Structure 1
């Protein structure tokens, strides 16, 4: 007897993919102004800070992008 498998795994998805799909559905169902605020929060920014003498120097932004819809 085998344990039940989550449907997202049975569909060939990772949990992160499933979670992103659910989050996009919820964001798209919101009414304004909450929808605009939620869409702004999905923007991702990456930065690197170099360390010198135990202190972080000014961060350098490497990449800015929006998550796929």
Structure 2
């Protein structure tokens, strides 16, 4: 059986690296002073559109 000594602490806690990274990023953003905090929170937003396809052609996209 392999030793668990070399396992990263985020993996030992049952997280993925992406989850750990998101938690750290949120902590850093919340520690910033204004106006840098507002700018960082605005960059966090993600905009994309979703189009359903029917008959080989996309229908009108909807923003999410």
Whose relative contact order is higher, 1 or 2, with alpha carbons under 8 Å and at least 6 apart? 1
Runs of at least 5 residues in structure 2 that lack an aligned partner in the other structure? 52-60
**TM-score if structure 2 supplies the norm length?**
0.71
Structure 1 moving runs of 4+ over 3 Å: none
Runs of at least 5 residues in structure 1 that lack an aligned partner in the other structure? 50-59, 64-69
More helix by share: 2
Aligned pair count? 56
More strand by share: 1
Question: Of residues 8, 33, 36 in structure 1, which corresponds to 2:38?
Answer: 36
Aligned CA-pair RMSD = 2.3
